[in-house]
């Protein structure tokens, strides 16, 4: 058995950036050493369209904090960052005190006016990465709706989906997250905001489509056996193979 403890944070983001950071830091600490923790999309600032410069500056503080916190844990989150004249919604993976992967949100949600405030990231950044040799991938919220992006992550054993997904489309988030797990024969960690207008629906989903979900909790967790990915791909063969390289 090759086990990993996966955690999805389900947090209500507030207007006070520092308060958000303090509270999320506390939740991450509760997850313990060697945890792999996913937060909701833009959990530290929200979309903050009226405070984009302030939010991007605060992301520098968040980054320093997570570099320190990730010495004993792996943390996946997203934050507003500025590069040149553009603001980006950047997904970053913190592991062993380093940023080991970064991708800018490629598919911007027009209904939420993201395209008016952010630049679109390069789709070529949406590629698998490794955490302790385990092949992982990530899709940032609205990107979950695009199956061509699912295919970019084929072979991943764990796929992370941080979100600020609206309550009116809750069933879409839950259904698509489950479908991704089944189609890519991978574990999916889905982390949505707990704000009033949001869907919640955070979950740990197995390659068989079994969901560990609780809309009332701030932390959803499951200890998973990564051999289940290999079994699924062996017995229901669709051409996927695991290429894990454990350290």
How would DSSP label each residue in 10-56?
-----S-HHHHHHHHHHHHHHT-TT-EEEPPTTTTT---GGGHHHHH
Q: Is the pLDDT of residue 224 over 70?
A: yes
Instruction: Find the mean pLDDT for residues 84-107.
Output: 98
241 within a domain of the structure (yes/no): no
Quick: pLDDT tens for 38-72. Answer: 999 999 999 999 999 999 999 999 999 999 999 99
Residue 205, in any domain of the structure = yes
**CA distance to 22, 65, 155, 170, 182, per residue, from 54 (Å):** 17, 17, 38, 30, 40
Helices (runs of H) and strands (runs of E) counted in the chain? 5, 12
Residue 230 belongs to what domain range?
3-235
pLDDT at 2: 82
246 lies in some domain: no
Q: Answer whether residue 235 shows pLDDT above 60.
A: yes
80 touches 50 (CB < 8 A): no
Residue 69 lies in a domain: yes
- Does residue 245 lie within any of the structural domains? no
Tally of structural domains, the chain = 1
The CATH number of residue 222's host domain is: 3.60.110.10
Model pTM score: 0.96
User: Do the domain assignments include residue 209?
Assistant: yes
d(CA 106, CA 185): 23
State the pLDDT at residue 108.
98
Report if residue 240 sits inside a domain.
no
247 lies in a domain?
Answer: no
pLDDT (average), residues 227-247: 81
The band of 79, judged by pLDDT with boundaries at 50, 70 and 90, is very high
User: What is the rounded CA–CA span in Å between residue 59 and residue 66?
Assistant: 10
């Amino acid at each position: 058995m090759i086990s990993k403890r996966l955690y999805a944070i389900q947090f209500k983001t507030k207007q006070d950036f520092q308060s958000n950071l303090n509270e999320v830091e506390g939740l991450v600490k509760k997850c313990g050493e060697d945890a792999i923790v996913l937060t909701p999309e833009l959990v530290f600032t929200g979309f903050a369209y009226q405070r984009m410069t302030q939010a991007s500056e605060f992301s520098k503080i968040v980054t320093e904090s997570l570099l320190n916190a990730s010495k004993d844990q792996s943390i996946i989150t997203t934050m507003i960052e500025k590069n040149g004249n553009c603001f980006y919604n950047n997904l970053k993976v913190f592991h062993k005190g380093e940023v080991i992967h970064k991708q800018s949100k490629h598919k911007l949600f027009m209904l939420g006016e993201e395209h008016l405030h952010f630049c679109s990231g390069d789709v070529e950044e949406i590629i698998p990465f490794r955490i302790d040799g385990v092949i992982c991938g990530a899709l940032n919220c609205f990107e979950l709706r695009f199956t061509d992006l699912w295919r970019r992550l084929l072979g991943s054993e764990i796929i992370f989906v941080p979100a600020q997904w609206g309550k009116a489309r809750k069933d879409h988030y839950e259904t698509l997250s489950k479908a991704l797990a089944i189609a890519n024969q991978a574990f999916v960690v889905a982390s949505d905001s707990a704000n009033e207008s949001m869907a919640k629906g955070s979950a740990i989903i197995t390659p068989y489509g079994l969901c560990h979900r609780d809309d009332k909790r701030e932390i959803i967790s499951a200890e998973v056996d990564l051999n289940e990915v290999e079994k699924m791909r062996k017995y229901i063969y669709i051409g996927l193979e695991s290429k894990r390289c454990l350290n």
